């Protein structure tokens, strides 16, 4: 039996207890090290009114030995009469059949005989694939929960995730003085994410703290399989190293399954079946790929889609498959096929060289960003022109396509442009993409001007009016800071040409020109440009496309300069709605929120609402730090004296509130920006529950006091914890005591 504590898995236990209560045969499936055995043992321990027999099949090498081992575990002296003898027992019997994957046929046969003998018998099995017999309920054991990437990395919040809980528990066994604090938390979270929440991997990583610091451990995460090797004596050898657990699973595959498994390692960000067909090669054949992928998912080497259509390999498993790919000398050919697939997909789904697609096409490409990132070194080296074209699309529409820090995209594109000196349309596209990135950084203005000039020179050499118009528009955008007269002249020259060509580029040019016109006192011209720009977006990318926020933010700036603060705020709320609609179920397009958040903060400061201004400014600054996006040259973002004034006037209070803003989740910030409801504020019912928690009442007692169900009471307490960022009832009680006058 395990000698360490069972950590987390509260929801999973509730789920499997419910399933086991409603079926006689439940199989927990998952990859090696995912915690199937620990969960099954804990579930069996909680099972009331049943004799429990745990039989570990891992040491067996022959199916013929299964019956004898199970009989021994059940205390039956005659294996051939096992089912008959168990059926005559007075008590219910729960048989926990552990590690069935290598003796599936024998385990399945025994399961049928055991369950058929009596209605008083139940079977709980663990395996890397289902036993596939009648009456079997299969439940896939997930990895441990990880901290939400949208939350700031804070110890209190992150420690709620089961993966972090397990790491802390095992780390304190290896190094009793270990604590999760602001210094260690980012390293712990990085480690848990790197191993995809696999419990065995977390335990092996935590054990390393006997000999190394958490910072040193996190620095070595690029070599997971070498890192995740334990030294503890005793126990199952497969649990002393993750590689051993994976070797065990790999050996159970046939040759074609092994080939598909290793080739899928090129997908760092998951894949669809069409992608798998493209890279697995003709020796396997598209008709068989779906079956092979399904078999690998059944054998817990691939995570099947929870929603949508994407499969994925957990990161330690992918690294193992990648080793197998390299050992087979197939890595180059697999990467080449992956590159061809991605380049063709991007050209098909987003033929627009500015990357400004809409709807499913844009989402389809955004979901492949991680896969593209993994093969970029090869693409830049071997197919440089394709690399420039692809990266230019991502750079020019970073709002919809780039889930990473924009400076990273700039670095990649810079490498590709250095390797591609040809003065042609491809280079111009690359330069225009680089310009879109460089204008995010105020210290890159000189470089941005040189890039703009080169793009315009090549476009003029080529005699391409569309390229010339777009290059003029980008040059004007750069000139907004240095020479507004030049910017207006170039916008005026570009706009008529863009009306004949690219609607997205036209909308961008009109937004920039509108801001300059308003500054020059031409309100009517500015409003006309805004209206035409919004119509252009609707024709080009749809009324709900995220790229519309460029024009909506310019519209807010025009209204702001005209003194209409209410209209400015209305436009910013429209921009936030657009970012949320464009994100769909996956949440708002985060980079599109930064400008509106900061602009709303400025408006809050002007209205005298310092708290709102500082909270939204703090959130915007955190998102800027994470993404590198800081939309310019809109007036509200270029002039930040209002924030300096608040810092000077409010001192420590300003820093405290801003820090609180940095801790807001994106959902909290969106809600606050749209409704003015203070993040973390409690409803009247929730305030009442905090008082009862402070009295020391349990959920059951709170339910009785308020005449609600226990589950509802539990939900109220959990929401209070989430809103206030607390882990325990004691923290809620302290908060209630501190805020007692305002609560009552």
pLDDT digit string, tens, across residues 70-85? 888 878 777 777 777 8
Tell me, what's the pLDDT at 744? 46
pLDDT at residue 446 greater than cutoff 60:
yes
pLDDT at residue 539 greater than cutoff 80:
yes
Q: Which residues contact 390 (CB under 8 A, 6 or more apart)?
A: 342, 343, 346, 372, 379
Q: Within 10 A of 610 (CB to CB), how many other CB atoms are there?
A: 18
Q: Per-residue confidence at 235, pLDDT binned at 50, 70, 90?
A: very low
Residue 382 has which token pair? Answer: 């071997």
507 by Cβ neighbours in 10 Å (0-12 / 13-18 / 19+) ranks as buried
Strands of the sheet with 25-29, listed across from one edge: 51-56, 93-98, 121-127, 25-29, 137-140
- Select from 463, 468, 480, 537 the least CA-distant residue to 514: 480
Alpha-carbon span 576 to 275, nearest angstrom: 34
Average pLDDT over residues 421-427: 95
Its pTM surpasses 0.85: no
Whole-number Cα distances in Å, 607 to 172, 245, 542, 563: 50, 62, 34, 12
Tell me, what's the pLDDT at 202? 84
Q: 192-223 b/e with 16+ CB inside 10 Å = b? A: bbbbbbbbbbbbbbbbbbeeeebeebbeebee
Tell me, what's the pLDDT at 567? 94
Alpha-carbon span 43 to 124, nearest angstrom: 9
Residue 641 has which token pair? Answer: 């004296």
CA 30 to chain CA centroid, nearest Å: 21
Tell me, what's the pLDDT at 381? 93
Tell me, what's the pLDDT at 239? 47
Domain 10-140 shares a fold with domain 470-540: no
Q: At what angle do helices 484-499 and 503-519 cross, to 10 degrees?
A: 150
Q: Per-residue confidence at 742, pLDDT binned at 50, 70, 90?
A: very low
pLDDT at residue 484 greater than cutoff 60:
yes
CA dihedral 614, 619, 620, 623 (to 10 degrees): 160
Q: Using an 8 Å Cβ cutoff, are 130 and 136 in contact?
A: yes
Q: Within 10 A of 725 (CB to CB), how many other CB atoms are there?
A: 17
pLDDT, mean over the chain: 83
pLDDT at residue 1 greater than cutoff 50:
yes
Between 99-108, 422-431, 673-682, the lowest mean confidence (pLDDT) is in 673-682
CATH assignment, 470-540: 1.25.40
CATH superfamily of 10-140: P-loop containing nucleotide triphosphate hydrolases (3.40.50.300)
pLDDT at residue 340 greater than cutoff 80:
yes
Average pLDDT over residues 281-303: 79
- The CATH topology of domain 684-743 is Arc Repressor Mutant, subunit A (1.10.10)
pLDDT at residue 91 greater than cutoff 80:
no
Tell me, what's the pLDDT at 586? 60
Q: How many residues does the chain have?
A: 744
Tokens 């960003």 belong to 369
Tokens 């994106």 belong to 666
Average pLDDT over residues 257-285: 85
Tell me, what's the pLDDT at 150? 62
Whole-number Cα distances in Å, 150 to 154, 181, 579: 12, 19, 15
- Select from 617, 740, 735 the least CA-distant residue to 673: 617
154 vs 486, residue with greater confidence: 486
Q: Within 10 A of 649 (CB to CB), how many other CB atoms are there?
A: 10
β-pair partners for 308? none
Tell me whether the omega of the peptide bond preceding residue 304 falls within 30 degrees of 0, making it cis: no
Over residues 521-531, the pLDDT tens digits come to 999 999 999 99
Average pLDDT over residues 710-732: 77
Tokens 């910072």 belong to 215
Percent with pLDDT over 70 in the chain: 89
Tokens 């001007």 belong to 449
CA 523 to chain CA centroid, nearest Å: 43
Average pLDDT over residues 427-433: 94
Q: Which residues contact 707 (CB under 8 A, 6 or more apart)?
A: none
β-pair partners for 524? none
Q: 542-569 b/e with 16+ CB inside 10 Å = b? A: bebbbbbbbbbbbbbbbbbbeeeeeebb
Mean pLDDT: which of 91-95, 538-542, 596-600 is highest?
Answer: 596-600
Q: Per-residue confidence at 743, pLDDT binned at 50, 70, 90?
A: very low
- Select from 42, 62, 39 the least CA-distant residue to 52: 42
137 DSSP assignment? E
Percent with pLDDT over 90 in the chain: 22
Alpha-carbon span 164 to 578, nearest angstrom: 35
69 DSSP assignment? H
731 vs 431, residue with greater confidence: 431
- For 253-329, give the CATH class: mainly alpha
Between 387-391, 461-465, 677-681, the lowest mean confidence (pLDDT) is in 677-681
- Select from 662, 664, 656 the least CA-distant residue to 681: 664
pLDDT at residue 193 greater than cutoff 70:
yes
Q: Maximum Cα–Cα distance for the chain, whole Å?
A: 98
Over residues 7-40, the pLDDT tens digits come to 788 888 888 888 888 888 999 988 877 888 888 8
718 vs 603, residue with greater confidence: 603
Average pLDDT over residues 460-476: 93
Q: Give the DSSP H or E segment for 386.
A: helix 384-396
* Coil vs helix vs strand at 94: strand
Determine the number of helices (DSSP H) and then strands (DSSP E) in the chain: 41, 5
β-pair partners for 98? 56
Tokens 């394709």 belong to 386
Q: Per-residue confidence at 510, pLDDT binned at 50, 70, 90?
A: very high
Domain boundaries, the chain: 10-140, 155-233, 253-329, 331-463, 470-540, 544-675, 684-743
Over residues 366-380, the pLDDT tens digits come to 788 889 888 999 999
Tell me, what's the pLDDT at 145? 86
Tell me, what's the pLDDT at 318? 86
CA dihedral 85, 87, 92, 93 (to 10 degrees): 50
Tell me, what's the pLDDT at 176? 86
Over residues 377-413, the pLDDT tens digits come to 999 999 999 999 999 988 887 666 666 677 788 888 9
Q: Please provide residue 25's backbone torsions phi and psi, each rounded to the nearest 5 degrees.
A: -140, 105
484 by Cβ neighbours in 10 Å (0-12 / 13-18 / 19+) ranks as middle
CA 5 to chain CA centroid, nearest Å: 29
pLDDT at residue 691 greater than cutoff 90:
no
- Select from 143, 110, 147 the least CA-distant residue to 125: 110
459 by Cβ neighbours in 10 Å (0-12 / 13-18 / 19+) ranks as buried
């Amino acid at each position: 039996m395990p000698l360490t504590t069972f950590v987390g898995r509260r929801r999973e236990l509730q789920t499997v207890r419910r399933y086991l209560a409603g079926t006689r045969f439940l199989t927990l499936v998952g990859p090696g090290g995912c915690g199937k055995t620990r969960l099954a043992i804990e579930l069996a321990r909680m099972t009331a009114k049943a004799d429990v027999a745990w039989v570990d099949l891992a040491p067996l090498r022959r199916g013929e030995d299964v019956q004898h081992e199970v009989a021994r575990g059940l205390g039956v002296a005659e294996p051939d009469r096992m089912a008959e003898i168990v059926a005559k027992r007075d008590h219910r019997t729960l048989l926990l059949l552990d590690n069935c994957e290598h003796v599936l046929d024998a385990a399945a046969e025994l399961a049928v005989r055991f369950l058929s003998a009596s209605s008083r018998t139940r079977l709980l099995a663990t395996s890397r694939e289902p036993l596939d017999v009648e009456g079997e309920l299969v439940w896939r054991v997930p990895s441990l929960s990880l901290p939400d990437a949208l939350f700031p990395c804070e110890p209190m919040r992150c420690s709620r995730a089961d993966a972090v809980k397990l790491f802390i528990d095992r780390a304190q066994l290896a190094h009793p003085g270990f604590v999760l604090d602001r210094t260690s938390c980012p390293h712990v979270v990085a480690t848990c994410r790197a191993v995809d929440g696999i419990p065995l991997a977390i335990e092996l990583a935590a054990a390393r703290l006997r000999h190394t610091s958490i910072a040193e451990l996190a620095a070595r995460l690029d070599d997971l399989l070498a890192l995740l090797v334990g030294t503890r004596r005793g126990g199952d050898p497969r649990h002393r190293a993750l590689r051993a657990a994976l070797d065990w699973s790999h050996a159970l595959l046939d040759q074609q399954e092994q080939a598909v498994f290793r080739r899928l390692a090129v997908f760092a960000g998951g894949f669809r079946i069409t992608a798998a067909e493209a890279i697995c090669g003709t020796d396997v054949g598209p008709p068989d790929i779906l079956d092979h992928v399904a078999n690998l998912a059944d054998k817990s080497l691939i995570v099947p889609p929870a929603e949508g259509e994407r499969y994925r390999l957990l990161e330690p498993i992918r690294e193992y498959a990648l080793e197998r790919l390299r050992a087979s000398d197939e890595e180059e050919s697999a990467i080449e096929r992956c590159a061809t697939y991605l380049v063709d997909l991007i050209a098909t789904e987003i033929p627009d060289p500015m990357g400004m697609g809409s709807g499913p096409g844009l989402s389809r490409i955004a979901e492949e960003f991680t896969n593209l990132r993994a093969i970029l070194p090869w693409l830049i080296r071997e197919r440089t022109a394709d690399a420039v074209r692809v990266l230019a699309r991502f750079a020019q529409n970073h709002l919809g396509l780039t889930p990473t820090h924009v400076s990273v995209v700039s670095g990649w594109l810079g490498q590709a442009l250095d390797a591609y000196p040809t003065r042609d349309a491809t280079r111009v596209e690359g330069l225009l993409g680089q310009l879109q990135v460089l204008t995010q950084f105020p210290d890159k203005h000189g470089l941005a001007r040189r890039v703009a000039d080169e793009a315009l020179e090549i476009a003029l050499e080529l005699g391409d009016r569309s390229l010339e118009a777009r290059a003029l528009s980008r040059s004007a955008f750069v000139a907004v800071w240095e020479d507004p007269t030049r910017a207006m002249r170039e916008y005026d020259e570009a706009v008529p040409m863009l009306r004949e060509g690219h609607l997205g580029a036209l909308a961008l040019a009109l937004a920039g020109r509108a801001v300059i016109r308003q500054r020059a006192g031409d309100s009517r011209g500015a409003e006309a440009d805004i209206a035409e720009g919004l119509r252009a977006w609707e024709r080009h990318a749809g009324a709900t496309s995220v790229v519309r926020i460029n024009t909506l933010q310019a519209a807010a700036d025009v209204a702001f300069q005209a003194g209409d603060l209410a209209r400015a705020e209305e436009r910013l709320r429209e921009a936030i709605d657009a970012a949320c609609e464009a994100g769909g179920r996956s949440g708002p397009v985060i980079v599109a929120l930064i400008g509106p958040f900061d602009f709303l903060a400025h408006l809050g400061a002007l209205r005298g609402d310092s708290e709102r201004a500082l909270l939204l400014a703090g959130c915007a600054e955190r998102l800027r730090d994470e993404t590198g996006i800081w939309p310019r040259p809109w007036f509200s973002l270029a002039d930040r004296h209002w924030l300096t004034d608040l810092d000077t006037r409010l001192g420590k209070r300003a820093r405290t509130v801003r820090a609180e803003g940095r801790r807001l989740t994106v959902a909290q910030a969106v809600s606050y920006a749209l409704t003015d409801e203070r993040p973390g504020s409690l409803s009247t019912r929730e305030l009442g529950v905090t008082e009862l928690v402070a009295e020391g009442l349990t959920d059951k007692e709170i339910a009785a006091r308020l005449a609600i169900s226990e589950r509802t009471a539990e939900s109220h307490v959990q929401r209070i914890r989430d809103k206030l960022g607390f882990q325990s009832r004691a923290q809620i009680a302290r908060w209630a005591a501190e805020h007692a006058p305002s609560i009552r």
